[in-house]
A and B are shown apart, each in its own frame.
Chain A
Amino acid sequence: MAKDVKKLKVSAIRNGTVIDHIPANNLFKVINILGLDHIDNQITFGTNLESGKLGSKAIVKISDKYFVDEEINRIALAAPQAKLNIIRNYQVEEKKEVIVPDEFSGIVKCVNPTCITNNDDVKTKFRVISKKEVSFKCHYCEKITDQEHMVFI
């Protein structure tokens, strides 16, 4: 019964990608990172849904859209526990987890206020140094930003 109620909250899609287990307060960050606010595909999302693991989670369903790993791993910073369901003809064809990339650019700010990326028109670029408790080193100023001080652009 409970499962049926959940299904009604966010309707099923025929083909596309379902991103589940997004922390509710990072939903819009994930949308932003993936550029979902600039595409024409049908998108449904639910947020503040109950979740045993996260307390409060969000889910996004994007019709007729499949992501390459590199693209999807960009959300790992905002939603490290996110699960992806690849849907074809209403069936879950594949399940995937996100992996924190070794390097990334954009997405977050450098923690250092006197870094060139916070003072000039320079896109941030980082090398990940720890994937568990995510922390990453700025390519430019070499300072380390950790999860606690992570600010999304």
Chain B
Amino acid sequence: MKNRSLISINDYSKEEILQVLDLAVKFEQNPSQELLSGKVIATLFFEPSTRTRLSFESAVNRLGGKIIGFSDSASSSATKGETLKDTIKTVSNYSDLIVMRHPIEGSARYASEVSTVPIVNAGDGANQHPTQTLLDLYSIRKTQGKLENLNLFIVGDLKYGRTVHSLLMAMAHFNATYYFISPKELRIPTEYKMYLDQHNLKYSEHADFKDIVDEADIIYMTRVQKERFSDPIEYEKTKNAYVLKNAMLQNTRNNLRVLHPLPRVNEISTDVDDSEKAYYFTQALNGVYTRQAIISLILGLKN
């Protein structure tokens, strides 16, 4: 992994994924380590994403590194018309690693081809967000004690949700059984079903999950956005089917945990927050350890 950019979850093999998770465990045990002293990490956020940026910056700070960058393109030279290539080439002179978030899909891969330092993709449009996937895997393994042979319920916007697509592909390494729960208009795209078919993995599609929720080991909730619907009446009719309420967790497995990439709007009712099965806030904390692991592996400070 040393000196290699992380753009897509597919850039890492199963072994490399496990290596990140194993190292993240060590950072959880001992979060403050001066590994990055004298190093400069750039966080270039061409679109705002406060949560992701703070998580990365917290990871760098805990490792004793320095941060340069910008938090949205209004405060960068992109507004003066500078090309992505020029920005990346310049910033790679000033830093040891670049974390970037950009609204255009494929921008991170392109940046990795023009940069002289490794790039970590913190989200390129609707395409990839690999560090989110790694923290999701960390959270799953931590709560279940394993990654293999789990029943994974993925709920909400399965068509546009990039975290869903990356998680689905990563969990294919671990023989997951997938339950896709979504409105008709936001079903999982065919290409991902083909991917699961090729890997001989079991999956099923559902319009509702009330009656099957007792089979779940993990429920991964995502936001269903009104703008995704061509027919607003359809949205009104279906929206409540994709809201998780505490009452629904009554007869579920003891090991069940509820995950959400956040920010949440109303798809998880606040009465779930106090349940021991709610894991989404700790999941966000795990993001810091996972990102500490990724940065130190790429910079060759740990192996």
Contacts and interface: CB of A to CB of B under 8 A. Distances in A.
Interface in A105-148: 110, 112, 114-117, 119-122, 138-144
B191 A144 contact: yes
A131 B105 CA distance: 25
Nearest to A117: B106
Contacts of A121: 83
Using C-beta atoms within 8 Å of the partner chain, give the interface range for chain B. 10 to 19
A116 B107 contact: yes
Contacts of A120: 83-85, 104, 107, 110
A122 B191 contact: no
Contacts of A112: 105
Most buried by B among A110, A119, A122, A144: A122
Nearest to B107: A116
Interface in A83-123: 110, 112, 114-117, 119-122
Given A140-B110, A142-B127, A116 B105 contact: yes
Given A142-B8, A142-B127, A114 B83 contact: no
B127 A119 contact: no
B66 interface: no
Most buried by B among A115, A138, A142: A142
Using C-beta atoms within 8 Å of the partner chain, give the interface range for chain A. 10 to 19
Nearest to A144: B191
Interface in B169-225: 191
Given A120-B83, A120-B84, A121-B83, A138 B106 contact: yes
Contact of B126 (A114, A117, A122, A138): A114
Interface in B75-91: 83-85
Most buried by A among B84, B105, B191: B105
B65 interface: no
B128 interface: yes
Contacts of B104: 114-116, 119-120
Interface string A69-86: 000000000000000000
A60 to B, nearest CB: 34
Contacts of B128: 142
Interface in A13-72: none
A142 B129 CA distance: 13
B170 to A, nearest CB: 14
Contacts of A110: 106
Contacts of A139: 106, 109
B125 A122 contact: no
Nearest to B109: A140
Interface string B94-107: 00000000011111
A119 B106 CA distance: 10
A141 B83 contact: no
Nearest to A140: B106
22 contacts: A112-B105, A114-B125, A114-B126, A115-B104, A115-B105, A116-B105, A116-B106, A116-B107, A116-B110, A117-B106, A119-B104, A120-B84, A120-B104, A120-B107, A120-B110, A140-B106, A141-B106, A141-B124, A141-B125, A141-B127, A142-B8, A142-B127
Interface of A: 110, 112, 114-117, 119-122, 138-144
